[in-house]
Amino acid sequence: MRPNGRHTAGASQLSTLRMWALSLLLLSAVAMSPTSAKAAPSQAAATTHVYLLRGVLNIFSLGLDTIGARLQAQGIPVTVANFVSWSSLADEAAANYKAGRLKTIVLVGHSSGATALPDMIAKLNQLGVPVKLAIGLDSVFKTKLTTGAERYINIYIGDGPGEPVRAANGLRGKLDNVDVRGSGVGHITIDKNEAIQRRVIAEIDAAIARSRGPAGPVAEPGAPRAAHSAAATAPARN
């Protein structure tokens, strides 16, 4: 017997409704999946701030802008500025840290921006503010680290203009000098090199993961402050 036309149409409509319902269920599952949830930054990332210091003339360190954009895509707040702003940026970071808006401070610099990092760390330490991580890319002057970040990584080109960072006696915190000579990068390109950028971002991500534990200033609690900081005694930069 031939099926009734009205019954056939009803079955078709029911099938269509079922398909729509299944599609809505699938869309709901995708919306609630862990992949979608990752778009929101973690609390640790949101209370981190990365300060990226460019070198001389503000035009030779544009790889830091790329690093900054990648970090922002992860939900990590960043500031990109010329190295001459290091003192005012330290004041800003200290104010936000003491107000509880900021828990983890990361510094990255290229060329003269890398050379300014020890001065910025010294000022922050004087203000009672810890630096979780500092990364210098090919610092161009002989640099001495007198007060420390929890970790300081100096990536430099040993057969180029870059210099290793020297540790002062009694330095607290870990200092790593990483010589990348022979890797094909130069002083002007080190901040733009993909492998270097991935290394910098990976180190920052690792520092944020460590920051989920309690943090404290690098200086000894109650220790007297030196009469002159590295920031006050450092030679002028070209």
Mind giving me the DSSP string for 100-133? TS--EEEEEEETHHHHTHHHHHHHHHHTT---SE
Residue 163 lies in a domain: yes
Q: Which residue has the tokens 């010589």?
A: 179
Residue 22 lies in a domain: no
pLDDT surpassing 50 at residue 88: yes
Residues 203-219 pLDDT 10s = 999 999 988 754 444 44
Residue 231 lies in a domain: no
* Interacting residues of 203 by C-beta distance below 8 A, sequence separation 6+: 133, 135, 151, 153
Residues 33-57 pLDDT 10s = 332 223 346 888 989 999 999 999 8
Select the more confidently predicted residue: 44 or 119: 119
Residue 30 lies in a domain: no
Looking at residue 74, which CATH number applies to its domain?
A: 3.40.50.1820
- Give how many domains the chain has, as a whole number: 1
Residue 135 lies in a domain: yes
Residue 6 lies in a domain: no
Residue 104 lies in a domain: yes
Q: Which residues form the domain of 91?
A: 43-214
Tokens (6 digits) for 28: 């709901």
pLDDT surpassing 90 at residue 87: yes
Residue 16 lies in a domain: no
Select the more confidently predicted residue: 219 or 128: 128
What is the percent of the chain with per-residue pLDDT over 90, rounded to a whole number? 60
